[in-house]
């Protein structure tokens, strides 16, 4: 299925449940440069060997200004100009880096994505947020520019490690929590195996996530209100990710538990939701507990981009499928962290 979404920051064409071979038709070899990471290149480099290709080190450690400078120098060496296009093939790190690089190289050029992980397919590649880290500060430098197209080839997921499937399901569970109670129940009665072995189920699930995120971004591309709800679990999650070197989805899963605890105090969400939610995380092989230093986590949260004076815009749940933006004081956040730190969910 092929369709276009018209965002204020530019149109994105979606090639849903497609095939990688279409890339040759929509991204000519002569005017495109592929950027990927070592892992993807090792598995799939033969597919794009005719393109000019730049390969970066795999992992979050490549989301730095040093990587951007290095890539920019190599693009200049290739005599890449504004009329050409950058194609990011990989997971969330690659899409973040390529989107940001395209935003600043020669003051902006076209770019597109071929996501190869579940997390990138349902979240990271969508919505136009591009960014790099500055030391321990997540996505401190960034832009909002939409890719020209996103090409989905689910066959890339055949080589995805189990831990990366779980990583992606954390974001899928997030979508269910903030805006789709029916999806939440679908996840409850399913398993990872359900989606790994039934391509149509997986396609449907990916499309639901893409449609939900796009509807939110269309309403609030610059994240002044509604788009903030996509950060459910991410405030504490980013701190856990940075301090304890967790995968993004693992950290978000833990952050969502913290947000649920805070929701019970701040907006009186039913305490019956938390145990059901924790069981769902376990079902998709996501962590539900962590030994951590509350003070270190609070200090990291103090530097969060969503800080507004003495409070943080936290995303809480009034019920499954209904998220709200609720400013929390650092004392309220500390209390939720302490309850989580002393809880037993395993």
The CATH number that applies at residue 85 is: 3.40.50.1970
State CA 21 to chain mean position distance: 25
Q: Which residue has the higher pLDDT, 201 or 308?
A: 201
**Whole-angstrom distance, CA of residue 39 vs CA of residue 295:** 36
pTM, two decimal places: 0.94
**Whole-angstrom distance, CA of residue 14 vs CA of residue 83:** 21
Domain end marker among 106, 131, 159: 159
Mark whether 36 and 127 lie in a shared domain: yes
Which ranges of the chain would DSSP assign to H, the alpha helix?
A: 23-26, 38-44, 65-77, 92-104, 118-119, 162-179, 181-188, 192-197, 199-219, 234-244, 248-266, 273-283, 294-301, 330-342
Looking at residues 101-116, what average pLDDT do you find?
A: 97
Q: Reply yes or no on whether the pLDDT at 346 is more than 70.
A: no
Mark whether 248 and 283 lie in a shared domain: yes
Q: Which residue has the higher pLDDT, 204 or 9?
A: 204
Q: Which two tokens stand for residue 100?
A: 């940001």
Mark whether 152 and 252 lie in a shared domain: no
Q: Reply yes or no on whether the pLDDT at 46 is more than 80.
A: yes
Instruction: Give the per-residue pLDDT at 306.
Output: 65
Helix (H, G, I), strand (E, B) or coil at 111: strand
Mark whether 155 and 175 lie in a shared domain: no
Each residue of 131-178: pLDDT tens digit? 999 987 888 899 999 999 999 999 999 999 999 999 999 999 999 999
Pairing mode, strands 137-144 and 110-115: unpaired
Mark whether 329 and 187 lie in a shared domain: yes
**How buried is 120 (Cβ within 10 angstroms: 0-12 exposed, 13-18 middle, 19+ buried)?**
buried
Cβ neighbors of 321 (< 8 A, separation 6 or more) are: 176, 177, 178, 179, 180, 181, 182, 184
Identify the CA nearest to 255 among candidates 320, 333, 319, 346: 333
Mark whether 332 and 183 lie in a shared domain: yes
Helix (H, G, I), strand (E, B) or coil at 100: helix
Q: Rounded to the nearest 5 degrees, what angle is found at the Cα of 130, between the Cα atoms of 239 and 24?
A: 135
Q: Which two tokens stand for residue 67?
A: 């990587």
Domain end marker among 134, 159, 184: 159
Q: Give, to the nearest 10 degrees, the angle between helix 294-301 and helix 234-244.
A: 120
Total domain count, the chain: 2
Mark whether 70 and 137 lie in a shared domain: yes
Mark whether 13 and 141 lie in a shared domain: yes
Identify the CA nearest to 323 among candidates 209, 246, 227: 227
CB 75 within 8 Å of CB 98: no
* DSSP for 18-57, written as a single string: --GGGHHHHS-GGGEEEEEEHHHHHHHGGGGTTSEEEEE-
Mark whether 141 and 11 lie in a shared domain: yes
Mark whether 137 and 172 lie in a shared domain: no
Q: Domain containing 202: what range? A: 162-342
Kindly report the CATH number assigned to the domain that includes residue 193: 1.20.1090.10
Instruction: Give the per-residue pLDDT at 279.
Output: 97
**Mean pLDDT score of the chain:** 95
Mark whether 143 and 130 lie in a shared domain: yes
Mark whether 50 and 155 lie in a shared domain: yes
How many CA within 13 A on the CB side of residue 319? Answer: 3
Domain end marker among 130, 159, 188: 159
């Amino acid at each position: 299925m092929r369709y276009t979404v018209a965002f204020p920051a530019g149109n994105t064409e979606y090639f849903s449940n497609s095939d990688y071979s279409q890339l040759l038709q929509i991204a000519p070899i002569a005017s495109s440069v592929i950027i990927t990471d070592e892992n993807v290149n090792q598995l799939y480099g033969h597919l794009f060997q005719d393109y000019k290709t730049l390969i970066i080190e795999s992992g979050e450690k490549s989301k730095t200004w040093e990587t951007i400078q290095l890539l920019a120098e190599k693009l200049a060496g290739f005599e890449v100009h504004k009329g050409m296009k950058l194609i990011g093939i990989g997971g969330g790190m690659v899409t973040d880096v390529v989107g940001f690089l395209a935003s600043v190289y020669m003051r902006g050029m076209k770019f597109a994505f071929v996501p190869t992980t579940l997390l990138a397919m349902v979240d990271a590649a969508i919505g136009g947020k591009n960014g790099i880290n500055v030391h321990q500060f997540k996505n401190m430098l960034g832009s909002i520019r939409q890719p020209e197209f996103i090409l989905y080839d689910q066959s890339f997921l055949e080589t995805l490690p189990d831990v990366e499937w779980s990583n992606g399901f954390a974001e899928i569970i997030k979508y269910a929590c903030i805006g789709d109670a029916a999806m939440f129940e679908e996840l409850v009665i399913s398993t990872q195996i359900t989606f790994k072995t039934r391509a149509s189920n997986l396609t449907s699930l990916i499309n639901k996530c893409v449609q939900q995120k796009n509807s939110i971004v269309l309403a609030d591309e610059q994240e002044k209100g509604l788009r903030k709800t996509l950060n459910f679990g991410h405030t504490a999650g980013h701190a856990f990710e940075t301090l304890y070197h967790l995968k993004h989805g693992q950290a978000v899963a833990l952050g969502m538990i913290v947000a649920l605890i805070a929701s019970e105090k701040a907006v009186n969400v039913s305490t019956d939701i938390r145990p059901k939610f924790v069981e769902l995380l376990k079902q998709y092989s996501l962590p539900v507990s962590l030994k951590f230093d509350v003070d270190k986590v609070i200090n990291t949260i103090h530097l969060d981009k969503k800080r507004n004076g003495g409070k943080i815009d936290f995303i809480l749940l009034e019920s499954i499928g209904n998220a709200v933006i609720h400013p929390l004081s650092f004392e309220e956040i500390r209390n939720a962290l302490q309850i989580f730190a002393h809880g037993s969910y395993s």
